[in-house]
Amino acid sequence: MVKKTGPSKKAAPSKQSSSSKQSSKKSSAPLETSSPALQSEEQQQRLLNIFSSAFNNVLTSDDFSRLLQEIKQALFNREFAAAFGREDYLEAYAARWSPTRALCYAAVFLSIKKHLDGILIAKEETKDNNTSTRRNAVLRMLSVGGCAAEHVAFASYLQTTATDGHLTLLDSGPWTTVISLLESSTVNPPPISKYASTARQAANHPLLENNQLSLDVVQRDVLDLDMDSLSAQCANGRVPIILTLLFTLNELYTTAGIGKTTKFLKNLGQVLASDSLVLVVDSPGSYSEAALGKEKKRYPMQWLLDHTLIETETPGYSWEKLQSDDSIWFRLPEGLSYPIPLENMRYQMHLYRLQKP
């Protein structure tokens, strides 16, 4: 657990978040692993500082604990539209649960770097007048569902790999304010004491350089998009991208049903460019299940996903599973600090690549 530091009038209860509770259930997976430590504690602390700076007013608000309880109740009831339908809920959610997710996702991105390198888009080398860093490739990502953790994790990956990026955050919730706060914290130097040494002030750089990340926020339900609109979010199939469904796919199965979600997954094969990647991260085990038919027979999310992408033949394209883990622990180092307690998390992860003739 990350130790609590800094002022907070009313911190969140120390008991686990809904995602942590869910991850504590027994998984049907035969083997659990721990995600490798691909970032230093210094890098991880930097990401936590972005959240604590962006959401300082939220973390110290008298309403914080109440908002968290309301969000947790909605999530427990699987009322996702209610949990993610208000800006104040999203700010509280981002301050409380997105930091751990961001660190986890950053580790996941680094773990699949060899595959991400394969979809980099070359560009002319340029030299910014304010920096000596040269970046000659662009990585495009479409995040379906969720915004805060995905934004910071992707920004961290770009910083670590000295890459430019284009990120589209597609979600039905009103995330604009949250993303604006985080964007400001990623492109501006972190707050520092005016009494800091000259050397420390000189070394106080923002996470990202100017124009390193191009960002679009789209408030739409992905399942309501027609083929043309979905294609537009996927670079119109011109270049390969990575499309992420991070703790989103099971929500789609639960709220919209297996039929609509399966149709969306099938449509990806038509609108994405060849070599595009689809990354799915979700809760492991029995929590990620969807019911089908009058008898409400339950199917594991991973089984539904593989059945749609791998086992169903579709003319014109096919999917290759590059990596799959049924249960992975992401553990926070003891030395990290954040204004409220954070917990470890457990997840399943699946990575697919689209192949076209």
- What digits encode the pLDDT tens for the residues 111-150? 999 999 999 999 765 555 544 455 789 999 999 998 999 9
**Which pLDDT band, with edges at 50, 70 and 90, does 24 fall under?**
very low
For domain 30-122+137-190+201-355, is the CATH number 3.40.50.150? yes
**Which pLDDT band, with edges at 50, 70 and 90, does 158 fall under?**
very high
Backbone φ and ψ for 126, nearest 5 degrees, come out as: -130, 155
Q: Is 194 exposed, middle or buried (0-12, 13-18, 19+ CB in 10 A)?
A: exposed
Residue 34 above 90 pLDDT? no
The predicted model scores a pTM of 0.87
Find the mean pLDDT for residues 223-250: 97
Q: Is 260 exposed, middle or buried (0-12, 13-18, 19+ CB in 10 A)?
A: middle
- The pLDDT score that the predictor gives to residue 303 is 93
Is 234:271 a contact under the CB 8 Å cutoff? Answer: yes
- The pLDDT score that the predictor gives to residue 25 is 38
Min mean pLDDT across 33-42, 65-74, 221-230, 288-297 is at: 288-297
In the numeric block, which tokens belong to residue 137? 């490739």
Given the structure tokens 């492991």, which residue do they identify? 284
CA distance 196 to 199: 8
Residue 213 above 50 pLDDT? yes
Residue 20 above 50 pLDDT? no
- The pLDDT score that the predictor gives to residue 30 is 44
3-state secondary structure of 341: coil
